[in-house]
Chain A
Amino acid sequence: EPEVTQTPSHQVTQMGQEVILRCVPISNHLYFYWYRQILGQKVEFLVSFYNNEISEKSEIFDDQFSVERPDGSNFTLKIRSTKLEDSAMYFCASSEVAGSWRDEQFFGPGTRLTVL
């Protein structure tokens, strides 16, 4: 069964460093998302992406964050200068369509980001 994959599973970085989290969405999906979950807290939406553009973003997704689809399969989240409070589990998700009865989102296994 097709699934969303993410790499790495765990990333440790120093405060102020740039990190890139990678995702491979399900192949026929057109909509891609990033969510994060700080330990013990809710899953929070960061950004959605369609047709090579950001279609929706949350207040969390400030100038330190960017997303890219560098090729036909990968979808990346870059954090330019990490802060301690960026430590969280980051989930990538994808959906076949949006705004219809087929728009359930499927999540990857997550990347745990630890900022020291």
Chain B
Amino acid sequence: EDKVVQSPLSLVVHEGDTVTLNCSYEVTNFRSLLWYKQEKKAPTFLFMLTSSGIEKKSGRLSSILDKKELFSILNITATQTGDSAIYLCAPRNQGAQKLVFGQGTRLTINP
């Protein structure tokens, strides 16, 4: 059975801090891993990672994948209160369309 574990489950930091969110996974025939940000309702897409060691960046957010150790990290630098959300990772198998979501990391940024 596919398994996704995110850590920490909850994180509270001050505005301006840098955070690292972790996602470890066990899926058969891995194809890609996606990161989403979930605020009040729908998950919004952040990154899709398919290759090890290649950092993807979008503004203050970046992410990298390690297919050998089966994990991914999401970094957020110079955090802002608007970064407060639940961050979800979701790996996907070859030949499957479904995303298998982790339980998420609830990030709270205090001013």
Contacts and interface: CB of A to CB of B under 8 A. Distances in A.
A30 B102 CA distance: 26
Nearest to B102: A42
Contacts of B45: 104-107
B100 interface: yes
A42 B101 contact: yes
Contacts of B90: 43
A82 B102 CA distance: 27
Contacts of B41: 89, 109-110
Contacts of B32: 103
A45 B98 contact: yes
Interface in A39-55: 41-45, 48, 50, 55
Given A42-B103, A43-B43, A89-B41, A104 B98 contact: no
Contact of A42 (B36, B42, B97, B104): B104
Interface centre among B88, B97, B98, B100 (most CB of A within 10 A): B97
A91 to B, nearest CB: 6
A98 B43 contact: no
Given A101-B50, A104-B34, A45 B100 contact: yes
Interface in B47-76: 48, 50
Contacts, number: 58
Interface size bucket, B side?
Answer: 20 to 34
Contacts of A101: 48, 50
A107 B39 CA distance: 12
A106 B42 CA distance: 9
A35 to B, nearest CB: 8
Nearest to A101: B50
Q: Which of A48, A58, A107, A110 has the largest number of chain B CB atoms within 10 A?
A: A107
A98 B34 contact: no
Contacts of B99: 35, 43, 45, 105
Interface of B: 31-32, 34, 36, 41-45, 48, 50, 88, 90, 94-104
Given A99-B95, A107-B43, 4 more contacts: A56-B98, A91-B42, A99-B94, A109-B42
